């Protein structure tokens, strides 16, 4: 494999550590990684592909890796992000990679000097070297049933229990196994600029093997790696990175030309741009995003893809009724912050952030946003609620709660789509990574029968 044949310089090791930190700080992590690799001049190079594979594999094992580090006597909470990144890389390569690889030797050799530079002297190179040498002597064997399960499934025990409770042990095994696989890279064809057939021809001319998604006909699937910087098709906005389950949301929303649509949690923009395509760039989209940096990238995506009907507002979606008014939108898309437990393939680190406390916080946030979505929706309008979580608490339980809160003025619409799994309550839909080879998503459609008075 090229991973074990390549030579790695100090600057390469610096780029890898920097990218791992950016993966954590910038969401989605893939964007942060690309920004860093662009800065170091290695984007779309062989080293990009090598390092991307390392990052994905490390993030799948990150919780176990952290336990190994702390078992050696290192307190991760007292380290800066760059030190954590280097130590995780060393342990990953030693325990899960190949400790005789050139990457491992380069981490040992160059890591201390590089880290002293990145962490701006918060740790001396000699101290960093001592830490690395301690970890290099570390071995690991699970010491309890819980640790054995976490090691096997590469997930925290609380999440393992919840998934088993939801779908049973056999299906749970398949679910967690799917997180270890890299499926196709998916792109949605931008129909404002090209057709599916033309995009396929152009991508094949660039040397890619392309096939149409069986789930969503205007999504194309490619075997990686993909040269983002070198692809004219991507640079010109003819295709947008988006998996099938995400692209399906806008289809189910079914926006019509001339309507007013509110995308309540819009960044990074895949669904916003898709809604504009389905509307033929006629009507108006209000795209709401809480954070300015994400809103800035959203505007760039809108410009690149030729969307002219979207207005980006930087604000908290929960405040939309006060800012926009009530009963104003023909349709609302709500894809709120969630645990991302369905996105275990493309965002493997999400499972290690999971906790019962965080889940409770997210459910409160989701319910507040659901109320805002219903309030800004016109009577006779439709609101699609969707998440990239597989947990009942964020999906069916929220649907049941909203229906109980607004039973007089809203109803659940029976969603149907071929090849999708039914949700845990009638009328809702789900995709599963181990069944559909895409992200795990949940979909529920609400119809507003009359104004809601809270």
Total number of domains in the chain: 4
453, part of any domain: no
Residues 191 and 296 in one domain: no
Angle at 228 between CA 222 and CA 229, to 5 degrees: 155
Between residues 254 and 80, which one has the greater pLDDT?
Answer: 254
Q: Determine how β-strand 410-413 pairs with β-strand 210-212.
A: unpaired
- Residues involved in catalysis: 388
DSSP 285-307: EEEEES-HHHHHHHHHHHHHHT-
Burial class (CB in 10 A: 0-12, 13-18, 19+), 138: middle
454, part of any domain: no
For the chain, give the longest Cα–Cα distance: 69
Range of the domain at 229: 185-241
28: preceding bond cis by omega (within 30 degrees): yes
Q: How far is CA 418 from CA 176, 264, 421, in A?
A: 25, 27, 9
pLDDT confidence bin for 254, thresholds 50/70/90: very high
Residues 303 and 212 in one domain: no
> Distance (Å, rounded) from C-alpha 402 to C-alpha 123?
51
Residues 256 and 327 in one domain: yes
Lowest mean pLDDT among 69-73, 243-247, 337-341, 443-447: 69-73
Question: What's residue 257's pLDDT?
Answer: 98
- Region class of 359: left (phi > 0), else alpha (psi between -120 and 50), else beta: alpha
Question: What's residue 373's pLDDT?
Answer: 97
Residues 236 and 283 in one domain: no
Residues 169 and 35 in one domain: no
pLDDT (tens digit, 9 = 90+) per residue, 141-191?
787 888 888 888 888 999 999 999 999 999 999 998 887 776 678 999 999
pTM check: above 0.85:
yes
Residues 233 and 156 in one domain: no
Question: What's residue 4's pLDDT?
Answer: 45
Question: What's residue 126's pLDDT?
Answer: 77
């Amino acid at each position: 494999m090229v991973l074990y044949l390549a030579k790695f310089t100090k600057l390469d090791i610096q780029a890898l550590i920097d990218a791992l930190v950016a993966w954590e700080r910038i969401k989605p992590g893939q964007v942060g990684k690309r920004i860093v690799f662009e800065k170091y001049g290695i984007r779309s190079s062989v080293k990009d592909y090598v390092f991307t594979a390392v990052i994905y594999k490390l993030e799948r094992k990150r919780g176990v890796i952290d336990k190994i580090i702390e078992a050696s006597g290192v307190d991760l909470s007292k380290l800066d992000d760059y030190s954590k990144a280097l130590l995780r890389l060393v342990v990953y390569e030693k325990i899960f990679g190949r400790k005789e690889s050139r990457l491992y030797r380069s981490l040992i050799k160059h890591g201390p000097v590089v880290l002293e530079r990145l962490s701006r002297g918060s740790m001396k190179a000699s101290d960093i070297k001592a830490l690395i040498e301690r970890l290099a002597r570390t071995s690991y064997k699970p010491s309890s049933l819980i640790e054995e399960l976490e090691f096997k499934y590469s997930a925290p025990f609380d999440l393992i229990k919840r998934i088993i409770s939801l779908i049973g042990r056999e299906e749970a095994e398949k679910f967690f196994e799917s997180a270890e696989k890299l499926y196709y890279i998916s792109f949605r064809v931008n129909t404002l600029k090209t057709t599916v057939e033309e995009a396929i021809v152009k991508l094949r001319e660039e040397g890619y093997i392309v096939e149409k998604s069986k789930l969503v006909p205007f999504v194309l699937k490619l075997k990686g790696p993909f040269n983002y910087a070198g692809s004219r098709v991507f640079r010109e906005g003819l295709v947008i990175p988006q998996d099938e389950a995400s692209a399906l949301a806008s289809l189910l929303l079914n926006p019509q030309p001339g309507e007013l649509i509110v995308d309540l949690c819009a960044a990074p923009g895949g669904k916003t741009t898709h809604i504009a395509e389905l509307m033929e760039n006629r009507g108006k989209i209000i795209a709401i995003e809480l954070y300015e940096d994400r809103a800035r990238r959203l505007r760039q995506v809108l410009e690149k893809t030729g969307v002219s009907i979207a207005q980006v507002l930087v604000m908290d979606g929960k405040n939309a009724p006060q800012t926009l008014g009530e009963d104003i939108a023909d349709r609302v898309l709500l894809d709120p912050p969630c645990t991302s437990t369905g996105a275990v393939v493309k965002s493997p680190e999400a499972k290690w952030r999971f906790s019962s406390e965080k889940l409770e916080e997210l459910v409160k946030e989701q319910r507040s946003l659901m109320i805002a979505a219903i309030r800004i929706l016109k009577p006779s309008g439709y609101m699609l609620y969707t998440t990239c979580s597989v947990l009942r608490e964020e999906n069916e339980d929220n649907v049941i709660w909203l229906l109980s809160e607004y039973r007089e003025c809203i109803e659940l619409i029976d969603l149907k789509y071929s090849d999708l799994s039914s949700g845990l309550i009638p009328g809702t839909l789900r995709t599963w990574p181990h069944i559909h080879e895409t992200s795990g998503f949940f979909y529920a459609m609400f119809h507003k029968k009359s104004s809601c008075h809270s």
